[in-house]
Amino acid sequence: MALAWDDVATFLATWRSGSFTAAAATLGVRQSTVSRRIARLEERLGPLFDRGPRGLRPTALAQRLAGEAEAMEAAAQRLVDAADGHERAVEGTVRIATTESLANHLIIPALPALRAAHPALRFELLVGLRSVDLATREADIALRFVRPTAGDLVFKRVSETPTAILGAPRWAGVPWEDLERVAVDLPGLPSPEEAWWASVRARPPVLITNNYPAMVSGVRAGLGVAMLSRSLLRVYPELITIAPPLPTPSLSLWLVAHRSARQIPRVQVAWAMLEGIAAQLTLTLPEA
């Protein structure tokens, strides 16, 4: 049995608003109509909303289907726009998950220009090192240094960032075996930095943190050196490069979205913006 578009649109309105009453107001129909359409969908697909004293709560199934429903919505709108001969303004909220450093130094400075081009676009930034679940729509797009390995995702490597051993000027000329270092420990996440440090038999770190900005602060304070993106020399020109005994690895930056969300207009424009600004992370400098 094919799904009726009115039912799918009702599901989206309910998922976005969190209540049958608000969905009915959005769609311009009665609440009983919304309830009937959702019941029809649930009979066909399975439970979409848990009903409780605090209102509706989307089920895991609803979270998985929301992206597909939004893709249908976008396709339907493109069909109407093509018939009308005009392009619809990009609108809505796009949720971007990324790290604290990328959010502060890369993404936020680029948002004013994007919003100037699309005034109806709004943003949510989910900042942290935890990998969000794009399948359940915790975010629309993720910009992260870990390549996805599972899920119905589309992804693209948008930057290959050289790393270097960076430190305060006080470490210039200090023998490698005497250098103190600052490290990051991210439970549950791979650490190419620590694998490299183990290969060069470096001293134990003088400071360990679970936060990259805190690690950078430790380096800037002169506590020790660390393996960091060479692009940070643009942000903190007071830092210097320290010659390592072995070449340091590069860091790949990945742009990721759920396949069903990739063609949604607001996701498309945010994807293009992120892909463009990610190139700023690549910094070519002569080797120290």
- Please name each of the domains of the chain with its CATH number: 5-84 (1.10.10.10), 92-156+254-281 (3.40.190.10), 163-249 (3.40.190.10)
Q: How many Å is the Cα radius of gyration of the chain? A: 24
Q: Is there a contact between 284 and 256 (Cβ–Cβ < 8 Å)?
A: no
Please state the rounded mean pLDDT for residues 219-239: 92
How does pLDDT run across 8-27, given as a tens digit for each residue?
888 888 888 888 888 888 88
Instruction: Report the alpha-carbon distance of residue 58 to residue 160 in Å, rounded.
Output: 38
Tell me the percentage of the chain whose pLDDT exceeds 90: 20
**pLDDT score for 284:** 35
Q: Is there a contact between 34 and 47 (Cβ–Cβ < 8 Å)?
A: no
Nearest of 8, 16, 74, 9 to residue 41 by alpha carbon: 8
Across 51-55, 91-95, 125-129, the highest mean pLDDT is recorded for 91-95
DSSP classification of residue 276: H
Residues paired with 165 in a beta bridge = 227, 242
- Global confidence as pTM: 0.62
How does pLDDT run across 240-251, given as a tens digit for each residue?
999 999 999 888
Is residue 223 over pLDDT 80?
yes
Is residue 81 over pLDDT 60?
no
Is residue 185 over pLDDT 60?
yes
